[in-house]
Structure 1
Amino acid sequence: MLSITLNHFLFLASAVFCLGIFGIIASRNAIKVLLSIEVMLAGVTMAFIAISKYVTPDTLEGQIITIFILTVAAAEAAVGLAILLVVYRNYKTVDMSKFNVLKW
C-alpha cells in the first residue's frame, strides 16, 4: 500500500506554484495575471496546510495562516479587478503591453 507523505503534498504545492509563475510570465492579459497570482497563493496555501498537518499535527498554525492568505487573496482580487475595470474604461484593453498607466 502506497502512503501519501509530506513530499507528495509539497511536490503538488510547488507544481501549482510554478504553474502560477508560468501564467504570469507567459500571459499579457491582466486578468490572466490576476488569476495566476491566485493560483500561486493556492500553492502556498497547500504547502502551509501540509506542513502543519505533518510537522505539528496538534496545532492549527498552518490553517490560521491559510485563513489570512485567503483574506489577502480576496482583497487582492477585489482591488486588482477594480483597477482593471478603470483601465479598461479608459483604454478599452486589458493587454498589459498596451497600457502604461501605473508608470510615471
Structure 2
Amino acid sequence: MHPVLPFTIAALLFGIGVYGVIVRRNAVLLLMAVELLLNAVNLVFVTADATIRSLVPHSGQSFTLFIIVLAAAEIGVGLALILQLYRLRRSVDVEELPLTEDAQEVAR
C-alpha cells in the first residue's frame, strides 16, 4: 500500500478532531474529538514506522502503544470529571464552566 492513503486519512481524522475541539461545547464530544486527534497521530506513527526504517526498529509502534495507554487513562479521568461536573451543575456544557474565581464572582 502506498503511504499517501494512511497519511491522508490521518490528516482528515486530525482535521475532524481539531474541528470538534474548536466547535463543540459538550464535554463528552470534546473528549471524543481529542481521541480522534490521538488516533490520527497513532496512524501517522505506524505508517511512518512501516515506510521509513529508522535506527530503532518498530519505534513508531512503541510510541503508538504508549499513546494508547495514555489515551485510556485520559478517558478514564476525563469521564470521571465530566460525571462529577454533571452531578454538580446538571450540565456538561463547557461554556457554562467558571474557569477562574473571578468568573464565579461575576456570576453571583
TM-score by length of 1: 0.89
Calculate percent identity across the aligned residue pairs: 32
Alignment correspondent of 1:47 = 44
Residue type matched to 1:87 in 2?
Answer: L
Structure 1 position 5 matched with structure 2 position 17: no
Q: Which structure has greater helix proportion?
A: 2
For these two proteins, the number of residue pairs brought into alignment is: 100
Residue type matched to 1:73 in 2?
Answer: A
Q: Following TM superposition, by how much is the alpha carbon of 1:88 offset from its aligned partner in structure 2, in angstroms?
A: 0.6
Unaligned runs of 5+ in 2: 102-108
Structure 1 position 28 matched with structure 2 position 25: yes
Alignment correspondent of 1:19 = 16
Task: Write the distance in 2 (CA, Å) between the matches of 1:39 and 1:53.
Answer: 21
Task: Write the distance in 1 (CA, Å) between the matches of 2:100 and 2:34.
Answer: 21
Task: Write the distance in 2 (CA, Å) between the matches of 1:68 and 1:103.
Answer: 33
Backbone CA RMSD of aligned residues = 1.5
Alignment correspondent of 1:67 = 65
Unaligned runs of 5+ in 1: none
Alignment correspondent of 2:104 = none
Would you identify which runs of 4 or more consecutive aligned residues in structure 1 move more than 3 Å? none
Task: Write the distance in 1 (CA, Å) between the matches of 2:57 and 2:4.
Answer: 20
Task: Write the distance in 1 (CA, Å) between the matches of 2:84 and 2:24.
Answer: 20
TM-score by length of 2: 0.86
